[in-house]
Amino acid sequence: MFGSKKNDPQETSKTTSRMPAGMANQIMEGTEIEGKITCIGDIRIDGILHGLLVSKAKVIVGPTGYIKGDVVCANANIQGKIDGTIKVKELLDLRSSAQMFGEILCGKLAVEAGAIVNGTCKMPEGDLDIDQAHSKALNLKSGSDARERNQPGKKATVS
């Protein structure tokens, strides 16, 4: 009755290796991160990121989200603020509450009335290569950079 079902190691690895449908990585409101975030799945930013965000999937910046830095992704839905460069392989969706300051490179662009866009926008012919940016972001920093980050009195960063 209880405990009669044996744990199958293959079944356990199947459930822990994938993110459930509809789930995404999330940086909650009230959280502030400085550094680099790379992910292969969707990510939602409702907090603050100072740095680089690279996703092979969709990036959502919620109404309270703020990114000061660069974003590289397959698709993006922006409701908050970005101050930097955004490179979107497919669709960049700027909602009415979006504030975009900087350079936009995207395959397709949708802008709702009320969105603020100050900067440049380029829609190159052909495919934007986000895989190269993802690979570069995954490379480890040189030893001198690592020593500099770990000096006493230096602000800690996530990379």
Provide long-range contacts, Cβ within 8 A and 24+ apart, for 68-77.
72/130, 72/133, 72/134, 72/137, 73/130, 74/130, 76/106
The length of the chain is 159
List, for residues 101-123, the tens digit of each pLDDT value. Answer: 999 999 999 999 999 999 999 99
Share of the chain above pLDDT 90, in %: 62
Q: Look at the pTM and tell me if it is higher than 0.85.
A: no
User: Would you say 130 and 59 are in contact if contact means Cβ atoms under 8 Å apart?
Assistant: no
Across the range 54-78, mean pLDDT stands at 97
pLDDT over 90 (residue 141): no
Q: Which residue has the higher pLDDT, 124 or 8?
A: 124
Q: Which of 93-107, 113-127, 143-157 has the lowest mean pLDDT?
A: 143-157
- Contact assessment for residue 105 and residue 86, using Cβ atoms and an 8 Å cutoff: yes
| Amino acid at the residue 128 | L
pLDDT at 131 over 60: yes
